[in-house]
Amino acid sequence: MSSLLTEIFGAAIAVTLVLAITKYWHGRFTKLPLPPGPPQKWISGNLQQLPKFQPWFTYAEWSKVYGPIFHFRAFTINTIVLNNGKAALDLLESRSSIYSDRQTSVMLDILAGRQLSVSRVKFDHPRFRTYRRMLNSALNREAAKAYQDIQTEEVHTLLRGLAKTPQEFLVLLRRNAGAVTLKLAYGYQVTSNNDEFVSQVDNAFIYFGKKMSRLFLVDFFPILRFVPSWFPGAEFKTIAKEFKDAKVDDYPFQWARSRMKSGDFEESFTSRFLLPEDGRVLTEEEEDIVKFCDAGIYAGGADTTVSVMTTFIFLMVRHPEVMKKAQADIDRITNKERFPNFGDQELLPYITAIIKEVQRWAPTAPLGVPHRVIQDDEYNGFRIPKGSTIIANIWAITRDTDIYPNPEVFDPQRHLGDHPQANPFKFVYGFGRRICPGAHFAEQSLFLNIVSILAVFDILPELDSSGKPVEPPVEFTGGITAHIKPFECRIVPRVPQLLETLGI
């Protein structure tokens, strides 16, 4: 057995070398150079230099040395990193017809079975267009208005929770995000802070999000997928099996499906497509498509909303002047006699500016989801080889001084006036044909949550033993989705009469 495994590994190395040499000489005979980048080793390229955690910080530093567009290689895979907004829009938006594919990952797509998920499906797969059509029909700007009652109900639950147990704000924010997306996708009503669905689905996505954000050797040597799980270095097979066995897509979908069969169900994305108006019975393939769209709604909306809301709380602690200005605007509209609502958004441009600035200052997915170019291309005097991975470093883009002067400063005012700076929504929700289909729904949820919290509460720093305010440090954690590290603060009612209307 050991000799067979040695032969397999040797063959993998040989194939990799042949591919690397072929790509190398192909590049030598083209007129244009690759973008610059850190020095490479002949076989592994830059593999040993790649950061294991929070790579957006490293890429931003490399861009200062090698320029806003740089290149690195890991074995046979070329990666081009775009660190400014112009390059990202020029390639991923204007040339989206060739920049909207995904790089095949043996780990994610084959071993973990994610090749047909909304975020992983190949650009030329028939499901890609089907997914986009279904999700856009349910989540576009006009359709998103149909979910305002759900969002209003859940924000009132959030406010009650913050009034009773403000120290548990992180738990309450996660419940809120999970409740809204589960109700929308499956018609499921969350009933507690430790709800079974929220815990099971959320924990799986968070756990595997961290696990899957690593580099796996099997993605560079696909033949390694055939080694047994007990073989040294084959931990990836255990991780993939855990993810596959967790069935995070199946659990809530089967619950919704069973409720529909019983006739006792809430209208949702699932019921809309599983019970079409013409009364026909869906095929197994069609049901599978609905299931993956459901999972896409939850994965794309729950953890990201928690990230933005946590950052908002953090920034209000550190910037009381912004909070006070926003509250004055809200009070001017409501006279502290009612809750603000969706109809107030146009009258409260400073709230929208805060939402934009929160997402600019700390983009939820700092590297987005990598794209793949499907043909050779050229840009700014550089060649971009077919099959290259293209990463938009959204963290660096939202700190591009050509777009956002003094980018480290949290300043909502930059998004107001006659000459506002670039709308960060152009970057933080993805690009081209891979843009997040739930962007309008997300903006709607964030507005209602933020304006409602500011209307009712003051968000204040924690006090130390001598009564002095403690400013939380700027530290991030997370894999694909970035989160401010947990911190303490005080959330204090400022308009108690509004809380009384909620039964507090």
Binding residues for heme: 436
Question: What 3-state class would DSSP assign to 196?
Answer: helix
DSSP E strands: which ranges in 307-448?
371-372, 377-379, 382-384, 389-392
Chain CA centroid to CA 253, Å: 21
Q: Are 497 and 338 in contact (CB under 8 A)?
A: no
Residue 189: phi and psi, rounded to 5, are: -100, 115
Cite the annotated binding site by residue number. 436
Rounded Cα gap, residues 475 and 57, in angstroms: 12
Question: In terms of C-beta density within 10 A (0-12 exposed, 13-18 middle, 19 or more buried), how is residue 266 classed?
Answer: middle
Residue labelled with tokens 């946590």: 310
Tokens in use for 197? 């669905």
Contacts of 18 by beta carbon, 8 Å cutoff, 6+ apart: none
User: Dmax over Cα atoms in the chain, in whole Å?
Assistant: 79
Angle at 480 between CA 477 and CA 483, to 5 degrees: 30
Rounded Cα gap, residues 45 and 22, in angstroms: 14
Q: Are 479 and 208 in contact (CB under 8 A)?
A: no
Rounded Cα gap, residues 146 and 151, in angstroms: 10
